[in-house]
């Protein structure tokens, strides 16, 4: 059976609609990690996600941002499609700029245990106010042995 979601039609009436394949994928999103093929080497991975969105917890207005992730992996790396789907789970969440950026950081840090991690939420101006949130693990850790 095809899952359904509630959407507004052209006339502004709420109707049940079959979930689209992208919505299904997002609803099942989980960060997937892979083994680092070069764990003995320090190298940096930079990922930019320029279409991040969430909802303001106070007003309900949408917030748009670029989420920039920079990390030096240890034993694990993040699979990019799973990261994309994970970041899209925020689009209907009522969550602040600070909380969303910190949650992305915490989830990646917990899963990857990288040598270094930085997440920057670069939010578009709204009401003539621009916000940039930067969360960083600080100094780089030494490679894990064995």
Instruction: Point out the residues that are catalytic.
Output: 56, 63
Q: Which two three-digit tokens encode residue 90? A: 């925020």
Q: Which two three-digit tokens encode residue 27? A: 């609803």
- Which of 32, 44, 135 is CA-nearest to residue 86? 32
Which residues have CB under 8 Å from 62's CB, separation 6+? 53, 54, 55, 56
Q: Which long-range contacts (CB under 8 A, 24 or more apart) does 99-103 make?
A: 100/52, 100/54, 101/67, 101/133, 101/134, 101/135, 102/133, 102/135
């Amino acid at each position: 059976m095809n899952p359904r979601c509630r959407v507004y039609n052209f006339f502004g009436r709420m109707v049940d609609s079959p979930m689209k394949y992208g919505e299904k994928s997002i609803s099942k999103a989980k960060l997937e990690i892979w083994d680092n093929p070069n764990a003995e080497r320090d190298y940096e991975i930079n990922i930019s996600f320029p279409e991040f969105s969430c909802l303001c917890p106070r007003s309900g207005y949408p917030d748009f941002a670029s989420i920039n992730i920079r990390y030096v992996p240890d034993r694990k790396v993040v699979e990019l499609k799973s990261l994309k789907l994970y970041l899209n789970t925020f689009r209907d969440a009522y969550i602040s700029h600070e909380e969303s950026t910190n949650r992305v950081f915490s989830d990646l840090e917990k899963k990857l245990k990288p040598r270094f991690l930085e997440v920057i939420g670069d939010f578009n101006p709204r009401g003539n106010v621009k916000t940039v949130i930067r969360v960083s693990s600080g100094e780089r850790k030494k490679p894990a042995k064995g």
